[in-house]
Amino acid sequence: MRQSRSAVLTAEKKPVRMKLLILTDFHYYGEGKRGSISSRRGDLVPSLLDQIRTRETDCDAVAVLGDLINDGTVPDARENLHVLRERMDFNVPLIAIPGNHDSDPARFAEVFGEPKAFCVNGVRLIPFVDSYDADDVCTRDFRIMAQELAAIRPGEIAVTLQHNTILPEIRETYPYTPVRFREIHAAYRDAGVKLSLSGHFHPGIDPFIEDGVTYACIPALCESPFRYAVADITEDGINVELRTVCLP
C-alpha cells in the first residue's frame, strides 16, 4: 500500500517592525491664545499638526506623551482637548497619555480614549499614567507597572510611554524625573524593555542606552524649532529621528 505523504506547513516568522510617530508637549491655550511664557507657541500647534499629518503618512501608530493643553483647570479645557484630537486623525492606532498640565486623567481619557497597552507588528506599546502632586512631583503606581511589564510576551519588543523623563536624572529645582526613577529603570531593565519614550523636558534629550534600554526624551512641539520624532523599531535595532516642522 502506498503511504501518503503529509505536507508540513511551516509558518514564516513575520519580521518585527514598527514606525512610530511621537508627539509631545503642545501646551495649547485655545484658538489664537498665547500664555505668559513667550517661548511656548501653543497657538501654532493645530497648524503644525496639520503639516505633520500631511507629511507622516506611513506610520504604523502614533504616541502622544502629554501636556497637550497648558491649563487643565480652565473652563474650556475639554474643548481644547477636542480641538487637538480632531487634528490627530492619522488613520492608525493612536495612544495618548496625560501630563501634569492636562490635570484630569479621566476627562483626558474621555477625549482620547483610555490609554491601554497594545501590540502592532510585534512591538508592544505600554503607557503609564503617572500621578502629580500640587508641586508637580511625579509618582508611579508600582503595582500597575509590574502587571504591565509582566504581560510582555516572548518575542515582543517592549516600548514604554510616559510623560516624565526616567533617565537621565535632571538635577534642577523643578521635578522632571519621577520619585523612585532608578527603581523604574531597574524594572524596565529586568523586564527587557527596549525603548522608553518621554516628553516633559522641553529641550529634549538625545537617545542613549542604559543597561540595554534606549531612553529618548522628545522635544516640545510648541517651542522652536518645533520638533517631533519618528522611531523605527525593529529586531535589529531602534532609531529615533527628530524632525522639524516649518512655521505656518
Q: How far apart are CA 17 and CA 228, in angstroms?
A: 20
**Amino acid at site 41:** R
Q: What is the Cα Rg of the chain in Å?
A: 19
Contact 40, 27 (CB under 8 A): yes
Least Cα distance to 221 among 103, 62, 46 occurs for: 46
Least Cα distance to 248 among 105, 69, 44, 74 occurs for: 44
Alpha helices in the chain (DSSP H): 45-55, 77-86, 105-112, 142-150, 181-191
The pLDDT, as a whole number, for residue 16 is 83
Domain ranges of the chain: 17-244
Contact 162, 198 (CB under 8 A): yes
pLDDT in tens, 147-206: 999 999 999 999 999 999 999 999 999 999 999 999 999 999 999 999 999 999 999 999
pTM: 0.93
pLDDT along the chain (248 residues), means of 10: 46 77 97 90 96 96 98 95 96 97 96 96 97 97 98 97 97 95 98 98 98 98 98 96 90
Mean pLDDT of the chain: 94
Phi, psi of 61 (to 5 degrees): -165, 165
What would be the CATH architecture of the domain defined by 17-244?
4-Layer Sandwich (3.60)
The residue assigned the cell 480652565 is 74
- Residue 21 three-state SS: strand
